[in-house]
Structure 1
């Protein structure tokens, strides 16, 4: 396909995409068994239940208590508190996750996402997976595990920079449990929102339990334009039902269905000057010709069964997940002048994008049950994914935004793709002595992809092309570790991650210089770390140093006037992550984490992409840190009080590569959150404030044409808000 049509399809994608952390440890102490010590944290990062301190890699475990303390309702509420993590979001439900600086933009994700045993999101770079990251409400979560560094051995595709794993609470037959809470929140420069969530666990028999949860959230808006005030408001709602059957000690069967709808009425962007990045219409204001709503639906269904044979345990996980997006973007800044000149009347442009992802996965693995000299896991993985991306450009009235029948359907583009992957993997830990372990693993993944692209309309031309690709990658990990005592681990880890390649849809006779297929890109991570619990578990620390080589980077560019995915350039990321948590006094927890990340290109990117050797990778701060303080004490025999605050610092960053303006420098900013409240019996009352200083840090800037009149867009952090919570738990 000629550049006009193909570039139109991907331009829409880009526009819509455009150790134990100290915080995790602090939060885990929110409801401690002993008020003087830190809780022991259990994770499943290596697909077996382990103490976090025994896992020879960098993992942040964000507990349910942590989510509650920070009033986490979105990814941004907790993900950016993890060392070396960044999030770029322009609209609710459209966020790009970055770990250890592994990001150059583009349409393929570099951080994988799991919900329990289900890999979620698109594995291919043909379905906008980079920004369609599931932003799950934390209702009924047990914890969120963030694995930093490549995870290709156990988790496969798209784990170049790491993995986010949502772990939900399993049904229990021990008793009836129930919880509920209500929140109200008022946002400065905006309006008021509220949310409610509830969960219940019911033992049906001695062997069967059912757990259900639900939530509804009305998100307040704070961006104004000539079409109305607070236009970026929205609502998010959904729930989960899970049933677990355990007829005997050996056999467990769990079925889960989860759904979430996320409806947003506008973007979190203001219009700024393309050079100075200063607001041109006033703070928290934008000018659009048409509204920009986005509706998303997440669905995850899973059936997991396990049987313990004694020396080994067999597990099978079957999942089906889907994502649907229907979004409208104001494309007047890109196409308005073109259409006005072509048709002789003042026109704007609206661009509709509809994305459908459907994915079936099956994983079977056999793992040793005993704790002899060798612990091992072997398994097989299969996934089949079908994706459709539809885009339509309509001409609209340049003033009112009203659709004009004569200018409807100026361009249509449809990209349908199929992705199928088979993989086999093995992982093991050899206990060479009481103090020395060697953990190692490998995975071979092979995928086949087919794609069909059709287009029509006066701006796109009529076409219908197909493409096919085949790709195979081997990934590995090796991690020797030394434990001088039960509460200290020193380790070295080398691990590889990958992102699948795929086909470029091209017409017959396309020049030889235009690649018909782009290959997988890979990261190789070299890491050394120490984690330790000291002073009778009143002090916990983790220190990690890492170096990552990123090869064969996937980029979207133009070759001989064809818009294609290519492999080009190399990069490296190196840095230090540190976390310290201490309980100096009964009821007082102080946690500090920070990261230094130096992520740069090590060779020039293609000229039409932009980016030269030595340029920093986009949206990664060299310095970032979080300080959290929490204090709890009894006020009376029946009333307990608590209070805390957190301070997050995000250092200066560079924006995405841009051939029009180059990378733009984004200044550092800080955010301060605080809360205080009481608990009495099963009840909790709390007041909180987010972004106390009303920081206006820039999270993302758009490319040329992202706003009208030569301006560009800038996504701004949420303004200061005050709120209150009432909760009950039985």
Structure 2
């Protein structure tokens, strides 16, 4: 049914990000001056509304007030907020993300991203506003969410239209590096049964990295590249219409649009060596890497109340078009520049039945279908190669890959829980079938395959009388297989009948065993949690980039299976309502991971057994404190602090080598005054101006020295975390 709750802030509310699931409920928990208790946090991680503290698995949630006050507008801040979540921003639509060490950077995608229960296959790194909460589900989510959720899921839940009142908000933020960010939303009741909600934003940012030299040292050609290499512009919005068609039948329809023009994976050329990195804030390239992306999405949700059963249908369509220009060699030489236009269309359909009421038996069951189509053309520009009659400012453009990919997914799933006395038993099962067809159009190679997986889940929960519970959950997830890109001129691959085909990679699988405890103490003023997990991770997928065997200078990128690994870890969380005005939370995550013995690289060049796989942060800690008390008139004084520490991480790819990313600590601070209508805030991100990389990896040295041997043939590249940034914002509500 259509929502009818107001989103105004309580004048004495104290909000805190509290770490959830194994780390306590990571949400905005409001405390009144009368009770100073932590409020219940309701999430839909199991596709029904329930108290986060009652779920026998690790779930974190960030509520609307925290998303707004902490200016969470992208993935990097989410990653810093939750231990054992390694998440950073890529602008090509595919985030760098692992949860508990499951998943990998690059083209592999072991964590699913969702907006209102629709998976974001093509623009997971887009900005989404007017958010009610962000949920992070840790561990394999195979039963309810299917493949591509082997590590977990990140869910955005948007605010629903309300028939209660006309209300809205406008927020203006400005600050260093030429940042101007304007966003607003409005809720319009159309009748006592229908309402409309709209959100829009626009942002300009000059960025923090510079490209001082765009003059080619070879040809003396000025490419007129702007110095602000990380400058970006974004805009977008969403319109939602919701209403009751009858007493038992309701619908919600929405459309969204997002436009991005900015950098694409801006790697800095690191001249130091671990642990003494130099962290240069300049590029020295002939071309500024750019990415232009437009996304349109539509969603229709139908709900039918059948008495003791609710039926839900969710239909979605997403269309994304993008152009990416990358200066691969990272030098002033016009040497390796790639241009990749890409189009993606995705359609999904889910039919779901679920129980209603408060009985001991609760269940959800349904079917799901998805169709994904992608077309990508890649051109490599050799600007430094001068051929008679060719203008050196034009270069030599070599098409090296034209790819078409069609993927489909069909699944049936069910999950049931039964409560008897102090015990609850949960059983889940999903049958997931993936089909994929890929064609390398330029060379006439094609291939198809299908994978069928049975994904079970089992949970046992023991509830205690002191508002606490213990649980054991076993779950399985998988990431589908696919095909490796092959460039023009590469040696052909032949199938069993002699036909030209593509090299494939197999699905990866993970089984997680989690033993946990959650509880409320001190008359509801303290919430604590702990979890121990073990993950058996088989046939792991990793990205690779290698030279074309034909020797024509082009590159082949794709995905390969490396081997098996094991991850063991712990997570601890504590939230304390210290007073009517202060909340404090702390959370810690630890992962110990290693490759199984005799894990041999596909080319046989090395045995990885006993080594730590890439993209695993051993230690991660988050501490938050939120303070709010009456100041003057209708205004409260607000102060928020978040301190995040990430330990060392091995960055890179197994086949390309790894390098250690040093540990770092980031502190964000917000202070200001708020009332029911106004919010005036000063924001200082990365207050210590910590220099750090969100990811690093070895990379070929394409400078002349590297090619001739007078310099190392390999360098380190890294993607910068944001340096210190000061901004101020003003919000008005009506």
Secondary structure, in 3 states, of the residue corresponding to 1:635? strand
Could you tell me how far apart the structure 1 residues matched to 2:642 and 2:275 are? 28
What is the aligned partner in structure 2 of residue 339 from structure 1?
Answer: none
What is the aligned partner in structure 1 of residue 108 from structure 2?
Answer: 108
> Residues 255-298 of structure 1: CA distance to partner in whole angstroms, max 9, x if unpaired?
01112112114654322127457667x83112112121111223
Secondary structure, in 3 states, of the residue corresponding to 1:614? coil
Matched, 1:571 2:552: no
Does structure 2 retain, via aligned residues, the 8 Å contact 1:707–1:713?
A: no
What is the aligned partner in structure 2 of residue 84 from structure 1?
Answer: 84
Q: 1:89 to 1:171 in 2, by over 3 A?
A: closer
Matched, 1:636 2:632: yes
Could you tell me how far apart the structure 2 residues matched to 1:232 and 1:611 are? 39
Q: 1:106 to 1:75 in 2, by over 3 A?
A: closer
> Residues 395-450 of structure 1: CA distance to partner in whole angstroms, max 9, x if unpaired?
22589xx98487433233111011112100010001122x2101110000112211
What is the aligned partner in structure 1 of residue 124 from structure 2?
Answer: 133
Unaligned runs of 5+ in 2: 1-18, 215-225, 487-491, 551-555, 707-714
Could you tell me how far apart the structure 2 residues matched to 1:305 and 1:706 are? 55
Matches within 5 A, 1:183-332: 183-186=173-176, 191-225=177-211, 226-227=213-214, 228-265=226-263, 267-273=265-271, 275-276=273-274, 283-332=280-329
Does structure 2 retain, via aligned residues, the 8 Å contact 1:452–1:505?
A: no
Does structure 2 retain, via aligned residues, the 8 Å contact 1:514–1:559?
A: no
Could you tell me how far apart the structure 2 residues matched to 1:61 and 1:208 are? 29
Q: 1:527 to 1:474 in 2, by over 3 A?
A: same
Does structure 2 retain, via aligned residues, the 8 Å contact 1:178–1:200?
A: yes
Could you tell me how far apart the structure 1 residues matched to 2:62 and 2:111 are? 17
Could you tell me how far apart the structure 1 residues matched to 2:310 and 2:90 are? 44
Could you tell me how far apart the structure 1 residues matched to 2:135 and 2:462 are? 23
What is the aligned partner in structure 2 of residue 590 from structure 1?
Answer: 584
Matches within 5 A, 1:332-411: 332=329, 348-397=335-384, 404=392, 407-411=395-399
Could you tell me how far apart the structure 1 residues matched to 2:560 and 2:676 are? 60
Does structure 1 retain, via aligned residues, the 8 Å contact 2:168–2:733?
A: yes
Secondary structure, in 3 states, of the residue corresponding to 2:364? strand
Q: Which moved more, 1:211-220 or 1:564-573?
A: 564-573
> Residues 371-409 of structure 1: CA distance to partner in whole angstroms, max 9, x if unpaired?
22311111011111111222101122589xx98487433
Unaligned runs of 5+ in 1: 1-18, 123-131, 337-345, 456-462
Q: 1:65 to 1:611 in 2, by over 3 A?
A: farther
What is the aligned partner in structure 2 of residue 164 from structure 1?
Answer: 154
Offset of residue 74 of structure 1: 1.0
So what's the TM-score if we normalise by structure 2? 0.86
Q: 1:76 to 1:24 in 2, by over 3 A?
A: farther
Offset of residue 21 of structure 1: 6.2
Secondary structure, in 3 states, of the residue corresponding to 2:653? coil
What is the aligned partner in structure 1 of residue 711 from structure 2?
Answer: none
Matches within 5 A, 1:278-677: 283-332=280-329, 348-397=335-384, 404=392, 407-433=395-421, 435-455=422-442, 463-485=443-465, 487-503=467-483, 507=492, 509=494, 516-555=503-542, 565-603=559-597, 604-608=599-603, 612-657=608-653, 659=655, 662-677=657-672
Could you tell me how far apart the structure 2 residues matched to 1:727 and 1:598 are? 44
Could you tell me how far apart the structure 1 residues matched to 2:158 and 2:384 are? 48
Could you tell me how far apart the structure 1 residues matched to 2:606 and 2:134 are? 36
Offset of residue 207 of structure 1: 1.0
What is the aligned partner in structure 2 of residue 67 from structure 1?
Answer: 67
> Residues 232-276 of structure 1: CA distance to partner in whole angstroms, max 9, x if unpaired?
010111000000011344211000111211211465432212745
Could you tell me how far apart the structure 2 residues matched to 1:551 and 1:56 are? 24
Q: 1:509 to 1:498 in 2, by over 3 A?
A: closer
Matched, 1:689 2:684: yes
RMSD: 2.8
What is the aligned partner in structure 2 of residue 49 from structure 1?
Answer: 49
Offset of residue 72 of structure 1: 1.1
Could you tell me how far apart the structure 2 residues matched to 1:377 and 1:33 are? 39
Q: Which moved more, 1:445-454 or 1:324-333?
A: 324-333
Does structure 2 retain, via aligned residues, the 8 Å contact 1:524–1:550?
A: yes
Could you tell me how far apart the structure 1 residues matched to 2:66 and 2:126 are? 17
Could you tell me how far apart the structure 1 residues matched to 2:521 and 2:578 are? 12
Does structure 2 retain, via aligned residues, the 8 Å contact 1:23–1:62?
A: no
Offset of residue 134 of structure 1: 2.7
Could you tell me how far apart the structure 2 residues matched to 1:415 and 1:440 are? 41
What is the aligned partner in structure 2 of residue 728 from structure 1?
Answer: 732
Could you tell me how far apart the structure 2 residues matched to 1:467 and 1:68 are? 47
Does structure 1 retain, via aligned residues, the 8 Å contact 2:429–2:457?
A: yes
Offset of residue 509 of structure 1: 3.6
Could you tell me how far apart the structure 1 residues matched to 2:606 and 2:231 are? 35
What is the aligned partner in structure 2 of residue 180 from structure 1?
Answer: 170
Could you tell me how far apart the structure 1 residues matched to 2:548 and 2:197 are? 57
Could you tell me how far apart the structure 2 residues matched to 1:722 and 1:610 are? 47
Offset of residue 331 of structure 1: 2.5
Secondary structure, in 3 states, of the residue corresponding to 1:692? coil
Secondary structure, in 3 states, of the residue corresponding to 1:409? strand
So what's the TM-score if we normalise by structure 1? 0.87
> Residues 685-712 of structure 1: CA distance to partner in whole angstroms, max 9, x if unpaired?
1111000110001222243227645444
Secondary structure, in 3 states, of the residue corresponding to 1:664? strand
Secondary structure, in 3 states, of the residue corresponding to 1:704? strand
Q: 1:505 to 1:713 in 2, by over 3 A?
A: closer
Secondary structure, in 3 states, of the residue corresponding to 2:67? helix
Could you tell me how far apart the structure 2 residues matched to 1:157 and 1:666 are? 30
Could you tell me how far apart the structure 2 residues matched to 1:611 and 1:729 are? 60
Matched, 1:680 2:675: yes
Offset of residue 594 of structure 1: 1.1
> Residues 103-149 of structure 1: CA distance to partner in whole angstroms, max 9, x if unpaired?
34452201011111211116xxxxxxxxx633323x21000000000
Offset of residue 568 of structure 1: 3.6
> Residues 199-224 of structure 1: CA distance to partner in whole angstroms, max 9, x if unpaired?
00011011110000101111231111
Could you tell me how far apart the structure 1 residues matched to 2:547 and 2:470 are? 48
Q: 1:406 to 1:691 in 2, by over 3 A?
A: closer
What is the aligned partner in structure 1 of residue 553 from structure 2?
Answer: none
